[in-house]
């Protein structure tokens, strides 16, 4: 018994502070009941003994006890809604145990003093009062077993001794019964409290586990939403937030801007300086974007594409987009280099441009596409003009699918002449007259064919026609230039089909010049270089068209195995100015150094021709000599300009 009592107290001492808080919470509604019970029962005993016992025992002592009980009752009631810390709860429980012991001692002493007064009924009332009250107290103290145990001990022991000496066998039996009942109750209470403590402990352990799982989940979610390279949020997070933001804007009526940022020349840096530098550059881009406008959500959508969502008006969007472009175009000091990239930005506004996330993204993407067509580093907001362009592009795309397309396509030829005005080559230029849409510039339909996946078929149709015409004039000794689109050069299937077509055409491959653009080379240098190698293996010549308009890199010029450069016609305007002439002179000098042929495009008048000849140009193309013309017309033009059809091929000049 004593061992189990010790164990019991040890267990109670070990009760965790968190359990103490729960104990106080459970005791708060019960202890006031205990004091009510004591007060009512004591008053009843005092009342029944009023005529038999001294006033000290029937009025004064019970009055003091009742006042003490009511005071404690008020304290407990007032503290009912206050929060307690674990330490405060422990202190309150200890205090309650001590007070319970003191009150139990006072009450039992008082009751036993009354026990000898009155007749059997009054004496029986005292015995019942003690027994019933101690059982009631044990119930009320079930969440504080120390107190229940103390009360039981302090009440039961004197109670037993008193009635043992009292001598009445009925009272002795009652006292023994009560002692037994209280012991059983204490045991049951102890078990109940143990279950209560364990439930609390496991609840706490569960809460800790849940908190850990929640923290882990939150961290996993953060990682799942973060781009590790830039520490910006990633594509998944971006689109989830876009949906949310659209809903919020719908409710508040605010304007939402979705922006897409695409880095220019990033691929070239990656190819030239390697992925480590490329990664560091992207991280720096992420840092700049994050620091620029903290209220704007910026995410990395993949590769060198970033997106932002901003709740600003359309006017604010224009400047924010341009600010981002300018910011990212600032030089990047990395690895002892000063790297420069450009940035284009396309934006769309909710609800003006589109009402769903998908459409908004499409519109911003279209604005980005248009922005990339123009000068570098500019921002464009999707507008009604773009809406019209999309409708027109869709009509062009439909017509590109027409089974009659082949009949509607034509090739015009524009001569390329040497310094004496003698034709050395012709450039094949695509012409399309759609019965529905009218005549269309290749500048319009070639990019649409590229975007919509029709370019392979279109290139093959045009090359077939150009070779078909040119085969009949092979004996003239001149060459034929044909334009390849950027997609052609980076598509191995198209390159192989071109090689097969040229090989079967009956035209000597070394009389075909394929014109490629810097854009194609910059898109995928390795792939472009492989294509060039393959094409050159059959003898085809390669010319770099529109030189100077794209992202020219002297490094590329040197590494690419090309045969000639075509200086873009936009340089012709600069001939009036000393700087313009200097640029052309330096390109010509560069070509000479690298042993490359050099043709100047867009020569329109005599003055320009003279200036170009003074700068050392040897080959020209432009309206000054001839407009692009149908094949039938070209035949006449060539013979008027000294091309003898029977002339041996060896007499032709190298352009």
CB of 613 to ligand C2E, least distance (A): 16
- CA 360 – CA 162 distance, rounded (Å): 92
**Are 515 and 487 a contacting pair, CB within 8 Å?**
no
Instruction: With contacts defined by CB under 6 A, name the span among 11-19, 251-259, 390-398, 596-604 that binds ligand C2E.
Output: 596-604
Q: Which of 365, 399, 518, 546 binds ligand C2E (CB under 6 A)?
A: 546
Residue from 182, 485, 490, 491 in contact with ligand C2E (CB under 6 A): 485
The verdict on 122 binding Mg ion (CB under 5 A) reads no
Spell out, one character per residue from 575 to 604, where the chain touches Mg ion: x when CB under 5 A holds, - when not: --------------------------x---
Q: Does 622 bind ligand C2E (CB under 6 A)?
A: yes
How many Å apart are CA 82 and CA 70, to the nearest integer? 20
Q: Is residue 429 a contact point for ligand C2E (CB under 6 A)?
A: yes
SS (H, E, C) 39-94: HHHHHHHHHHHCCCCCHHHHHHHHHHHHHHHHHHHHHHHHCCCCCCCHHHHHHHHH
Give Dmax over CA atoms of the chain in angstroms: 156
Q: How, if at all, do strands 332-334 and 305-310 pair?
A: unpaired
The answer to whether 393 contacts Mg ion (rule: CB under 5 A) is: no
Name the minimum Å distance from CB 375 to Mg ion. 18
Q: Which stretch binds ligand C2E (CB under 6 A): 15-23, 279-287, 481-489, 587-595?
A: 481-489
Taking the CA atoms of the chain, what radius of gyration do you get in angstroms? 49
Which residues fall within 8 angstroms of residue 311, CB to CB, at 6 or more apart?
245, 249, 254, 255, 256, 257, 295
Q: How far is the CB of 496 from ligand C2E (least distance, A)?
A: 17
Q: Residue 306 forms beta bridges with which residues? A: 261, 300
Per CB under 5 A, contacts with Mg ion among 538-567 are 545-546
Compute the least distance from the CB of residue 423 to ligand C2E, in Å.
14
CA 260 to chain centre: 13
Please report which helix (H) or strand (E) contains residue 583, including its range. Answer: helix 578-593
Residues 160 and 175 sit within 8 Å (Cβ to Cβ):
yes
Residues 382 and 377: their CA atoms lie apart, in Å, by 16
**Per CB under 5 A, does 518 bind Mg ion?**
no
Select from 628, 638, 652, 655 the one that contacts ligand C2E (CB under 6 A).
628
Q: How far is the CB of 514 from Mg ion (least distance, A)?
A: 10
Minimum gap (Å) between residue 452 Cβ and ligand C2E: 14
Look up tokens 């075909």; give the residue.
512
Instruction: Pick the closer one to Mg ion by CB: 236 or 431.
Output: 431
CB of 495 to ligand C2E, least distance (A): 14
Segment interacting with ligand C2E, rule: CB under 6 A, options 17-25, 250-258, 376-384, 442-450: 442-450
Q: At what angle do helices 145-166 and 2-13 cross, to 10 degrees?
A: 150
Say whether 551 sits in a helix, a strand or coil. coil
485 binds, among Mg ion, ligand C2E, none (CB under 5 to 8 A by kind): ligand C2E
Q: For residues 625 and 634, is the Cβ–Cβ distance under 8 A? A: no
Task: Establish if 414 lies at the interface with ligand C2E (CB under 6 A).
Answer: yes
Query: If binding means CB under 6 A, how many residues of this protein chain bind ligand C2E?
Result: 23
CB of 337 to Mg ion, least distance (A): 32
Residue 442 binds to ligand C2E (criterion: CB under 6 A): yes
Q: Which does 512 bind (CB under 5 to 8 A by kind): Mg ion, ligand C2E, none?
A: none
Is the separation of the CB atoms in 612 and 584 below 8 Å? Answer: yes
Dihedral over Cα of 227, 228, 229, 232: its sign: positive
Residue of 187, 335, 374, 623 that binds ligand C2E (CB under 6 A)? 623
The distance of closest approach from Cβ of residue 417 to Mg ion in the complex, given in angstroms and rounded to an integer, is 15
Q: Is 419 exposed, middle or buried (0-12, 13-18, 19+ CB in 10 A)?
A: middle
Among the listed residues 21, 512, 602, 638, the single contact to ligand C2E using CB under 6 A: 602
Instruction: Give the residues lining the site for Mg ion (CB under 5 A).
Output: 483, 515, 545-546, 601
Instruction: Give the residues lining the site for ligand C2E (CB under 6 A).
Output: 414, 429-430, 441-443, 446, 462, 483-485, 515, 545-546, 569, 601-604, 621-623, 628
């Amino acid at each position: 018994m004593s061992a189990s009592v010790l164990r019991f107290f040890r267990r109670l001492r070990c009760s965790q502070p968190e359990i103490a808080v729960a104990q106080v919470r459970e005791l708060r509604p019960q202890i006031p009941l205990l004091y009510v019970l004591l007060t009512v029962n004591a008053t009843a005993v005092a009342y029944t003994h009023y005529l038999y016992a001294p006033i000290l025992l029937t009025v004064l002592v019970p009055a003091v006890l009742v006042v003490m009980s009511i005071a404690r009752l008020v304290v407990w009631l007032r503290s009912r809604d206050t929060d307690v810390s674990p330490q405060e709860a422990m202190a309150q429980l200890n205090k309650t145990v001590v007070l319970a012991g003191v009150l139990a001692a006072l009450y039992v002493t008082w009751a036993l003093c009354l026990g000898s007064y009155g007749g059997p009924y009054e004496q029986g009332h005292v015995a019942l009062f003690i027994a019933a009250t101690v059982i009631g107290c044990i119930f009320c103290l079930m969440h504080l077993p120390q107190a229940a145990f103390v009360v039981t001990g302090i009440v039961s022991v004197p109670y037993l001794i008193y009635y043992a000496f009292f001598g009445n066998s009925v009272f002795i039996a009652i006292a023994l019964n009560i002692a037994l009942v209280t012991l059983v109750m204490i045991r049951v209470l102890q078990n109940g409290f143990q279950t209560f403590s364990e439930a609390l402990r496991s609840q706490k352990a569960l809460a800790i586990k849940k908190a850990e799982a929640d923290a882990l989940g939150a961290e996993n979610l953060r990682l799942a939403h973060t781009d590790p390279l830039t520490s910006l949020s990633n594509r998944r997070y971006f689109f989830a937030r876009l949906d949310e933001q659209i809903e919020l804007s719908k409710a508040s009526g605010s304007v939402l801007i979705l922006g897409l940022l695409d880095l220019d020349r990033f691929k070239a840096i990656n190819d030239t300086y390697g992925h480590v530098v490329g990664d560091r550059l992207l991280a720096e881009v992420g840092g700049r974007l994050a620091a620029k406008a903290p209220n704007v959500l910026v995410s990395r959508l993949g590769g060198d594409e970033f997106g932002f969502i901003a709740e600003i008006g359309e006017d604010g969007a224009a400047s924010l987009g341009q600010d981002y472009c300018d910011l990212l175009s600032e030089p990047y000091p990395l690895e002892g280099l000063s790297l420069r990239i450009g940035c284009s930005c396309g934006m769309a506004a909710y609800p003006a441009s589109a009402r769903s996330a998908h459409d908004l993204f499409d519109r911003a993407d279209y604005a980005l596409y248009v922005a990339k067509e123009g000068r570098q580093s500019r921002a464009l907001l999707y507008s009604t003009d773009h809406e019209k362009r999309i409708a027109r592009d869709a009509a062009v795309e439909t017509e590109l699918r027409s089974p009659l397309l082949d009949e509607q396509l034509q090739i015009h030829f524009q001569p390329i002449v040497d310094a004496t005005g003698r034709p050395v080559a012709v450039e094949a230029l695509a012409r399309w007259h759609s019965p529905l849409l009218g005549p269309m510039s290749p500048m319009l339909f070639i990019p649409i064919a590229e975007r919509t996946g029709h370019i392979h078929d279109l290139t093959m149709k045009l090359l077939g026609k150009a070779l078909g015409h040119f085969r009949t004039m092979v004996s003239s000794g001149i060459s034929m230039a044909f334009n390849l689109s950027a997609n052609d050069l980076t598509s191995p299937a198209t390159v192989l089909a071109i090689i097969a077509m040229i090989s079967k055409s009956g035209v000597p491959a070394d009389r075909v010049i394929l014109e490629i653009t810097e854009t194609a080379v910059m898109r995928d240098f390795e792939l472009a270089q492989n294509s060039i190698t393959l094409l050159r293996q059959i003898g085809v010549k390669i010319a770099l068209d529109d030189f100077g308009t794209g992202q020219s890199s002297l490094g590329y010029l040197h590494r690419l195995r090309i045969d000639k450069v075509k200086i873009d016609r936009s340089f012709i305007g600069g001939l009036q100015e000393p700087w313009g002439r200097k640029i052309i002179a330096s390109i010509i000098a560069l070509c000479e150094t690298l042993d490359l042929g050099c043709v100047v495009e867009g020569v329109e008048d005599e003055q320009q021709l003279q200036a170009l000849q003074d700068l050392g140009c040897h080959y020209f193309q432009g309206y000054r000599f001839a407009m692009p013309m149908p094949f039938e017309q070209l035949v006449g033009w060539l013979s008027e300009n000294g091309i003898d059809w029977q002339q041996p091929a060896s007499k032709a000049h190298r352009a």
